[in-house]
């Protein structure tokens, strides 16, 4: 499974780089050679297509190729890949405008372009590299290019985030065209009440990683670029409020209950993604504030900050690595064949239920005492486990527990 995970990660990384290059070129062409609504439409189509490719590949690989045994691991890997891609392509396409500029009036502090200012600077003239000085190696970005970045890179960032709010959160997640089709078309032509109910209840197996990666993207980019664009702070607050209302509506009125998972995904985001967002915030604060004050910060300072961040993340990784994956014990002692398995299943669980049925507790057939929650504890363990390449379906209600497996007859030798 590790080899499959590495292969799919490298493949997703390759497509991420290609998509990021397409998004960067589209944003640059749309900003420097804008011709009105036509340019905006094709740039938007390129950005949407680049994102859709990744969002289709990640769940496909997670379900069909990586074959995770636990939903927590499945959601965690999907979250990492999609979050990295979202942050990577946005940051690269936004910061690329620091190295390019057009006609800018050098006698004014206004960052907007001026057609009468004369000849434009050549590409990459904003960056100057020299040896020596306090930091041994100095890479300087012209302050005028940083001022001009507010009319190019900052505009691209705000357009992208407002697009996430309006299109992804508003249309895809809240309006949900597939929900309208299922309820207005498929459910109305259903032959039975069960089919109609299925049309009204949409699946939520992958809802949490998709929603959480968008939240992490907004939090990370807000923390990273808020020293340069303070408007991101109220925008992030409004986005979180709207996201809460949309999730509340979807989880209570539209979707089935999502599958049970552990706190591994939340732990990963708190201990990895958010500390990296703080480091990016410090880097951008030093960079933009120094350019505003016309003071050069040696590259050595940024390098020391990077070393300190790497040490901090290594310590966190060492602590997280001590956590072990949840183990799912078999509900019966494994025998030599199907007959012994059936016998163990029939005798051990019958005795356990008769002895402990009065107080609601259950005893493990292997001889050990289970948790005090009884059947609920076993359900927690079972629902956390996802056997690869099977068709297991667990449906727990207050009245019954239905376990359906299309291969159960073949596995027990009762064909």
H-assigned helices in 250-298: 264-268, 274-292
Give 324-341 pLDDT, tens digit per residue.
Answer: 544 444 444 444 444 444
CA dihedral for 304, 307, 311, 312, sign (positive or negative): positive
Please tell me the distance from the alpha carbon of residue 81 to that of residue 213, in angstroms, as a whole number. Answer: 9
Give 153-169 pLDDT, tens digit per residue.
Answer: 898 898 889 888 988 89
Quick one: residue 132, left, alpha or beta (phi over 0 = left, psi -120 to 50 = alpha)? left
Give 70-116 pLDDT, tens digit per residue.
Answer: 788 888 888 988 998 889 988 998 998 887 765 554 444 444 444 44
Give the number of other CB atoms < 10 A from CB of residue 272.
Answer: 16
Please tell me the distance from the alpha carbon of residue 115 to that of residue 219, in angstroms, as a whole number. Answer: 37
- Residue 226 is predicted with a pLDDT of 95
Structure tokens at 79: 């979250």
pLDDT at 148 over 90: no
pLDDT at 413 over 90: no
Output the CA–CA distances (angstroms, integers) from residue 213 to 217, 280, 399, in the order listed: 6, 18, 35
H-assigned helices in 96-192: 143-149, 153-163, 177-181
Binning pLDDT at 50, 70 and 90, where does residue 381 land?
A: low
Q: What are phi and psi of 405, to 5 degrees?
A: -145, 120
Give 193-235 pLDDT, tens digit per residue.
Answer: 888 887 788 888 889 999 999 999 999 999 999 999 999 999 9
pLDDT at 400 over 50: no
Residue whose pair of structure tokens reads 């998004």 in the numeric block: 23
Name the nearest CA neighbour of 77 among 66, 88, 86, 87.
Answer: 66
Please tell me the distance from the alpha carbon of residue 249 to that of residue 48, in angstroms, as a whole number. Answer: 25
Q: How far from chain centre, in Å, is Cα 402?
A: 32
In terms of average pLDDT, the best of 2-6, 109-113, 147-151, 382-386 is 147-151
Please tell me the distance from the alpha carbon of residue 209 to that of residue 77, in angstroms, as a whole number. Answer: 9
For the chain, how are helix, strand and coil distributed in percent, rounded to 5? 65, 5, 30
Name the nearest CA neighbour of 367 among 349, 354, 379.
Answer: 349
- Residue 390 is predicted with a pLDDT of 40
Break the chain into its structural domains and give their ranges.
Answer: 2-103+146-321, 348-411
Flag the least confident range among 171-175, 281-285, 302-306: 302-306
């Amino acid at each position: 499974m590790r080899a499959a995970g590495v292969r799919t990660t490298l493949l997703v990384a390759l497509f991420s780089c290609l998509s990021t290059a397409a998004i960067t070129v589209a944003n640059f062409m749309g900003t420097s050679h804008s011709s009105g609504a036509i340019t905006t439409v094709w740039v938007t189509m390129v950005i949407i297509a680049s994102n859709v490719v990744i969002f289709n590949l990640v769940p496909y690989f997670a379900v069909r190729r990586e074959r995770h045994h636990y939903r927590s691991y499945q959601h965690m890997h999907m979250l990492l890949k999609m979050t990295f891609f979202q942050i990577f392509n946005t940051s690269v396409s936004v910061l690329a405008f620091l190295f390019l500029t057009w006609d800018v009036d050098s006698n004014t502090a206004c960052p907007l372009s001026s057609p009468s200012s004369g000849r434009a600077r050549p590409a990459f003239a904003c960056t100057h590299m020299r040896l020596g000085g306090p930091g041994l190696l100095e890479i300087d970005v012209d302050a005028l290019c940083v001022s001009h970045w507010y009319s190019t890179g900052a505009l691209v960032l705000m357009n992208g985030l407002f697009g996430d709010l309006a299109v992804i959160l508003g249309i895809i997640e809240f309006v949900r065209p597939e929900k309208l089709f299922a309820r207005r078309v498929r459910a109305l032509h259903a032959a039975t009440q069960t089919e109609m109910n299925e049309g009204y209840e949409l699946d939520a197996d992958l809802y949490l990683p998709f929603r959480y990666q968008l939240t992490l993207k907004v939090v990370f980019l807000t923390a990273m670029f808020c020293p340069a664009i303070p408007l991101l702070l109220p925008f992030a607050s409004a986005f979180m409020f709207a996201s809460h209302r949309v999730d509340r509506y979807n989880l209570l009125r539209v979707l089935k209950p999502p599958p049970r998972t552990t706190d591994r995904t939340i732990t990963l985001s708190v201990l990895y993604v958010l500390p990296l967002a703080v480091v990016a915030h410090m880097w951008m604060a030093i960079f933009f504030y120094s350019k505003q004050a016309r003071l050069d910060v040696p590259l050595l300072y940024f390098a020391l900050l990077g070393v300190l961040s790497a040490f901090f993340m290594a310590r966190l990784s060492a602590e997280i690595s001590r956590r072990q994956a949840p183990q799912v014990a078999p509900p019966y002692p494994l025998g030599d064949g199907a007959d012994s398995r059936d016998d163990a299943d029939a005798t051990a669980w019958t005795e356990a239920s008769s002895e402990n049925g009065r107080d609601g507790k259950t005893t493990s057939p292997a001889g050990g005492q289970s948790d005090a929650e009884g059947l609920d504890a076993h359900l927690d363990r079972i629902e956390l486990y996802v056997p690869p390449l099977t068709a297991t379906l667990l449906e727990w209600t207050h009245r019954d527990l239905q376990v359906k497996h299309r291969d159960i007859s073949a596995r027990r030798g009762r064909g």
